[in-house]
């Protein structure tokens, strides 16, 4: 085989490898950003037996023993781990990964203290993310 023929084969091999790497990256990137969506993010006192939020708002009275994050989602691929992080006065206080069922649905996740005492007064926020993409960052407050 001539020198030009070997150079051409080596060039084609490199191009194929680069295309494979790019394809892997594109599929992984699409999965991370994908078409998955989160809608109607609400904070509420609780959810009812039909999984609907009760007393939604952004300012809650002191004495609340729990607050719930409620959201619906669409186009989950199954097994996706949505990360929910709660912050109090800008500092993380709790984090958990919620596994979602494939397709569309709704989820609720509640914040409460282990001893059952009321949540402290102050500014809070809750962040929902999947991989490195933040879908929602909702501020709320517990006041007098």
Instruction: Give per-residue pLDDT as tens, 44-71.
Output: 988 888 888 999 999 999 988 899 999 9
Q: Are 108 and 26 in contact (CB under 8 A)?
A: no
Name which CATH class applies to 36-143.
Answer: mainly beta
Q: How confident is the model at residue 20 (pLDDT cuts 50, 70, 90)?
A: confident
Q: Give the separation between CA 132 and CA 108, rounded to whole angstroms.
A: 21
Whether pTM exceeds 0.85: no
pLDDT of residue 25: 67
Pairing of strands 37-44, 53-54: unpaired
Q: Give the separation between CA 70 and CA 49, rounded to whole angstroms.
A: 13
């Amino acid at each position: 085989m001539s020198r030009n023929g070997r150079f051409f084969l080596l060039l084609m091999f490199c191009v194929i490898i680069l295309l494979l790497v790019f394809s892997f990256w594109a599929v992984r990137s699409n999965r991370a950003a994908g078409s998955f969506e989160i809608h109607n993010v609400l904070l509420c006192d609780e959810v009812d037996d039909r999984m609907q939020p009760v007393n939604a708002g952004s300012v809650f009275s002191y004495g609340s023993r729990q607050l719930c994050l409620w959201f619906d989602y669409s186009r989950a691929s199954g097994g996706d781990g949505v990360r929910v992080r709660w912050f109090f006065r800008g500092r993380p206080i709790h984090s958990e990964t919620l596994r979602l069922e494939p397709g569309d649905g709704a989820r609720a996740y509640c914040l409460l203290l282990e001893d059952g005492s009321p949540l402290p007064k102050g500014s809070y926020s809750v962040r929902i993310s999947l991989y490195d993409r933040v879908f929602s960052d909702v501020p709320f407050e517990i006041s007098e």
